[in-house]
Chain A
């Protein structure tokens, strides 16, 4: 039964990862293209030039294809919370529920209402009203992302809550702490701005295809001018927020940072590995034997993580075995403390069953942050609740190679795309872009690259959180529901088939619409 439970959890993880990856193929283009369409329409509103109207309408058509095919794919993720992850769903309580409810009520309805005006209203409402609807659609889409990312950030950094032992739910004590946690703010800005970059690369790539074919040259060049500047600005913002993200991760998820860098032994003035090839897992025990080779920038990791070139950055071994001199607790000690917290939960459970109110009240006081004993217990024991479920201290180490390489794919691609936007903007401005056919091909091929970078970013965020569903509090294998592994495996393949069909449909319709191109001027 235990084996079947583990298999069921592993299939549920695979299913959730699959659903999230496919969902994220549709979302970033919606976020960024909605803003680009709004900017194009703003240009039409300001100048009255109908060329901008046709241009905006063309990109809106591609936006609509992506939106219609991508919409509701996220619902499957929400179903999975209840069915495959019921312990998790109850444990997160209203903290997860509140942002998702706000997302559903406010952002989704805002987006959907104005979406109709954006598409049906060109000749039926005033230009100003139409422009407002387009901007509100873009704002609605990005607000949707905000609430989802707030919920996700809480899983990485659970704040603003209090654990209710009677209902086994985390109850929100401060909405603002949840909404404005540094992880949430940074995750939102990084995710949204990198989505803007993705949309810019998409517009640049499609426009490059028109230039290669010698079609719709004015529209292509104007779209490239706007998208390359837009992409460059938001690539810079994404780089800045990514840097902030590293500094925050160093404080709230040090194991994630150590695994991203494959840093086994903590050190002062730690270097940043630009690139390297990792040895197989069994051969990696320390920094001396972790890599076949690597290229490093001295002191950069310390500087980026703690804004101090000589700061100490803990490694995987420090975090697993502990480092007394640096005040780092060993995972074994955290496991002991976590088990003590779980024992208290078990005592409470038994006391409820036997009607032992004295024990119930005693344990309730331990989980009450307003009592002195509760404050100490929550800080010293419940903070490590999830560790109590681990079998070995090494269980806290996520998949190092996956994180290490995914991080470099994300950062390397991001740097390349930033440079691409700058070069394309400059050449387009100097009217020399059309002649650089190789660069036009690079622009087209950068479309899949930007999607790869976007997915790699999520792999870093989510694989780096493992083994936790909620950082330090709930490991993934405890978060799952007990359901047979076979049905989860079957539905995994069903979802795979459904999403693959949707993706093929999207690419097919998008290619057909791109081939048709914008309406020719007849006004």
Chain B
């Protein structure tokens, strides 16, 4: 049963990554840095990022806003 399961491609891919990560030495430090960095970028800095003024608006609405901005700067 186990052998048959291991022949299935997704299981083999999973085992490939699982064993790879488990056997990492230097990689663990790197993954720690990577995860901390992503946490800082996506969680902490995200709180400080300015709102995207055009997010969630239709193309026409974005056009209205940007056009009035471009005219205002004359």
Residues of A within 8 A of B (CB): 61, 64-65, 68-69, 71-72, 75-76, 79, 82-84, 86-87, 89-91, 116, 119-121, 124, 164, 166-169, 339, 342, 345-346, 348-349, 352, 388-389, 477-478, 481-483, 487-488, 490-491, 494-495, 498, 502, 505, 509, 513
B30 and A168 contacting across the interface, CB-CB below 8 Å: no
**Which 4 residue pairs are nearest across A and B when measured between Cβ atoms?**
A120-B20, A68-B30, A167-B63, A82-B52
B67 and A345 contacting across the interface, CB-CB below 8 Å: yes
Supply 7 A–B pairs (Cβ within 8 Å), ascending by A: A69-B30, A72-B38, A119-B27, A120-B16, A120-B17, A168-B66, A478-B70
B55 and A82 contacting across the interface, CB-CB below 8 Å: yes
For the complex, give the distance between the alpha carbons of A89 and B65 in Å.
12
Q: Which residue of B lies closest to A477 (CB)?
A: B73
B48 and A490 contacting across the interface, CB-CB below 8 Å: yes
For A388, the chain B residues whose CB sits under 8 A away are 74
For the complex, give the distance between the alpha carbons of A75 and B33 in Å.
16
12 further A-B contacts with Cβ under 8 Å, apart from A71-B34, A482-B69, are: A82-B52, A82-B55, A90-B54, A120-B16, A121-B16, A121-B20, A164-B63, A166-B60, A349-B68, A352-B64, A491-B48, A498-B41
Contacts A84-B50, A346-B71 hold; do A166 and B41 have CB atoms under 8 A apart? no
Q: Which residue of B lies closest to A61 (CB)?
A: B26
For the complex, give the distance between the alpha carbons of A83 and B63 in Å.
16
For the complex, give the distance between the alpha carbons of A199 and B59 in Å.
43
Q: Which residue of B lies closest to A80 (CB)?
A: B49
B67 and A82 contacting across the interface, CB-CB below 8 Å: no
Residues of B within 8 A of A (CB): 16-17, 19-21, 23, 26-27, 29-31, 33-34, 37-38, 40-41, 45, 48-55, 59-60, 62-71, 73-74
A64 and B30 contacting across the interface, CB-CB below 8 Å: yes
For B33, the chain A residues whose CB sits under 8 A away are 68-69, 502, 505, 509
A481 and B67 contacting across the interface, CB-CB below 8 Å: no
B26 and A513 contacting across the interface, CB-CB below 8 Å: yes
For the complex, give the distance between the alpha carbons of A116 and B70 in Å.
47
Selected from A116, A345, A481, the residue in CB contact (under 8 A) with B71 is A345
Selected from A65, A87, A389, the residue in CB contact (under 8 A) with B30 is A65
For the complex, give the distance between the alpha carbons of A481 and B68 in Å.
12
For A342, the chain B residues whose CB sits under 8 A away are 70-71, 74
Q: Which residue of A lies closest to B59 (CB)?
A: A167
For B50, the chain A residues whose CB sits under 8 A away are 83-84, 481, 483, 487-488
For the complex, give the distance between the alpha carbons of A119 and B51 in Å.
39
B63 and A64 contacting across the interface, CB-CB below 8 Å: no
Contacts A167-B60, A349-B68 hold; do A79 and B49 have CB atoms under 8 A apart? yes
For the complex, give the distance between the alpha carbons of A495 and B41 in Å.
9
For A91, the chain B residues whose CB sits under 8 A away are 66
For the complex, give the distance between the alpha carbons of A494 and B23 in Å.
35
A481 and B45 contacting across the interface, CB-CB below 8 Å: no
Question: Distance (Å) between the CB of A361 and the closest chain B CB?
Answer: 17
Question: Distance (Å) between the CB of A69 and the closest chain B CB?
Answer: 6
For the complex, give the distance between the alpha carbons of A164 and B60 in Å.
11
For B63, the chain A residues whose CB sits under 8 A away are 90, 164, 166-169
Q: Which residue of A lies closest to B74 (CB)?
A: A342
For A82, the chain B residues whose CB sits under 8 A away are 52, 54-55
Question: Distance (Å) between the CB of A81 and the closest chain B CB?
Answer: 9
For B29, the chain A residues whose CB sits under 8 A away are 509
Q: Which residue of B lies closest to A475 (CB)?
A: B73
Q: Which residue of B lies closest to A64 (CB)?
A: B30
For A71, the chain B residues whose CB sits under 8 A away are 34
B16 and A124 contacting across the interface, CB-CB below 8 Å: yes
For A83, the chain B residues whose CB sits under 8 A away are 49-52
Question: Distance (Å) between the CB of A39 and the closest chain B CB?
Answer: 22
Selected from A69, A76, A352, A478, the residue in CB contact (under 8 A) with B41 is A76
B20 and A116 contacting across the interface, CB-CB below 8 Å: yes
A509 and B49 contacting across the interface, CB-CB below 8 Å: no
For B62, the chain A residues whose CB sits under 8 A away are 90, 167-168
